[in-house]
Amino acid sequence: MTRIITHADTTGYAPVDETWCAYQDNYDGPGCPCGKGATEAEAVADLMEQIAEAGFALVAEERAA
């Protein structure tokens, strides 16, 4: 089962509108979708949009903290 991992960048280096990132637990580097957003929900929505556009398979829409 594929999970969605989310985390906030607390370093202060990320732009405000990209504070959160979301990716699948099978992320394999460049070329794999990685959602970004000002909130966790925006990052997950961005990831889901990228997955849909690229045709990547997502088995489950679970988030792991």
Question: Which sign does the torsion angle of CA 34, 39, 44, 46 carry?
Answer: negative
Tens digit of each residue's pLDDT (9 = 90 or more) over 5-19: 999 999 989 899 999
33 found inside a domain: yes
Helix (H) or strand (E) holding 23: strand 20-24
Tens digit of each residue's pLDDT (9 = 90 or more) over 7-64: 999 998 989 999 999 999 988 888 889 999 999 999 999 999 998 887 755 544 444 4
22 found inside a domain: no
The domain total for the chain is 1
55 found inside a domain: yes
56 found inside a domain: yes
In terms of residue numbers, what domain contains 38? 3-17+28-64
23 found inside a domain: no
pTM value is 0.77
50 found inside a domain: yes
